[in-house]
Copies of this chain bind each other. A is one copy, B any other.
């Protein structure tokens, strides 16, 4: 135990030890029944006499905070009741901390779900010390936010893969993994991508901590503060947050039902000289749009002419409910133009935190280096278990199951909207992906609707979150239909329709 002692302090050493232990017990950080070190051991650790430690323990015993049993040692008393968290009064933070407190807030105050991440609205709302648990949504609350539905995943199968890997690889599961990712997993990913029309090789695949890390390392490598990134408007909110955190200039190219309006791109390239084009060509988040084949080829041509790398985020490109399959941009790449980011989070399990980058050319090696300085390598055991789990056949079987389930949910949502919503809304059923992008009836705003919806027991992702200039998104909300069981979809849309009516009434 490395208790901080100040041998030059006027407070005697025994009292310093006693005070540290008392404070820790009352704060609950040394919980009841915790065994304390033997006095002889603690004295040796701290370089003090045994009598000093015995005196500290004797005081604590007298206060009823610890219990001493001959032969079995000293324990925090089972009756020691942690005092309520002390408000430390005003801590005098150093100046550099005060500056951080004043800096612009990256988080969106309307963040209802933090892309499904936040279980603790306390943190979101600026109470970092508050409510670490128990801040989940109330029972019966229906949320059209988040990712895919983890209940579609058979955890038993994954658990069996874990068991197999632990038995097979033993200690290797615990060792540091190849920095590019477990080689057989990269091989599997190359097979799966090829079976999907994106021919690649394991030595062009880099395993990342979810596709968010893929975006982060590409950004770190290719852009510096003040550089321009070109995005679709609207676009993925966590990409915007990443770009804002890097202090980039964000320039948007509008999107329509055929994806990014690539015809409008050339003047933007000429005017802003972006260092990166970030696109989700297939079943875009949040709009669900799928870029036409013509635009895909035109985008590649323009990026080549203006020497701009493309980051293709194909987070749900395989989740196609109808329509013709469009090739990934990466499949059309003549060599090294497109950096491709994929993930297992949406299809399999968000909590797995495994994604991957596919890149060829010198950029691959640089991305590996950036990944390494960021966190060395992805976790070994989870990669190995995923490799055992994800065969090409199993991937496609799981995909078919998801497509079947999510298509029905999409249809149910569209049906519910037609039944339950007051007129004036607009939404095209997406041909794939997880999201429906809904234009609210005139006069209703995403921000204004939010408290009314929550009061009715339902929430959504406000459109403001997906635009570089948030106000442009006030007419829109994004509904995730994939994560919500079918009967909850009906009830959720009913509540949302009521909330929209509430909003219209307030306005009238």
Contact = CB atoms under 8 A, between A and B. Distances in A.
Task: Please give the count of copies of this chain that the complex contains.
Answer: 2
Contacts of A2: 196-198, 317, 325-328, 331
A199 interface: yes
A117 B29 contact: no
A1 B195 contact: yes
Nearest to A239: B373
A230 to B, nearest CB: 14
A404 interface: no
Contact of A374 (B129, B163, B216, B327): B216
28 contacts: A1-B195, A1-B197, A2-B328, A4-B328, A29-B190, A34-B392, A45-B325, A46-B324, A91-B361, A95-B307, A96-B222, A96-B308, A107-B369, A114-B179, A118-B179, A123-B179, A126-B365, A150-B171, A155-B171, A159-B163, A175-B349, A212-B375, A213-B374, A245-B369, A351-B379, A353-B377, A354-B379, A374-B374
A356 interface: no
Interface in A10-45: 20, 23-24, 27, 29-31, 34-35, 44-45
Contacts of A416: none
B30 A191 contact: yes
Which of under 10, 10 to 19, 20 to 34, or 35 or more describes the interface residues of A? 35 or more
A264 interface: no
Contacts of A381: 351-352, 382
A239 B207 CA distance: 22
Contacts of A326: 2
Interface of A: 1-7, 20, 23-24, 27, 29-31, 34-35, 44-47, 85, 88, 91-98, 100-101, 103, 106-107, 114-120, 123, 126, 128-130, 132-133, 146-147, 150-151, 153, 155, 159, 162-163, 166, 170-171, 173-180, 183, 186, 190-191, 193-203, 208-210, 212-213, 216, 220-222, 224-225, 238, 241-242, 245, 293, 297, 304, 307-309, 317, 324-328, 331-332, 334-337, 348-354, 360-366, 368-370, 372-382, 392-393
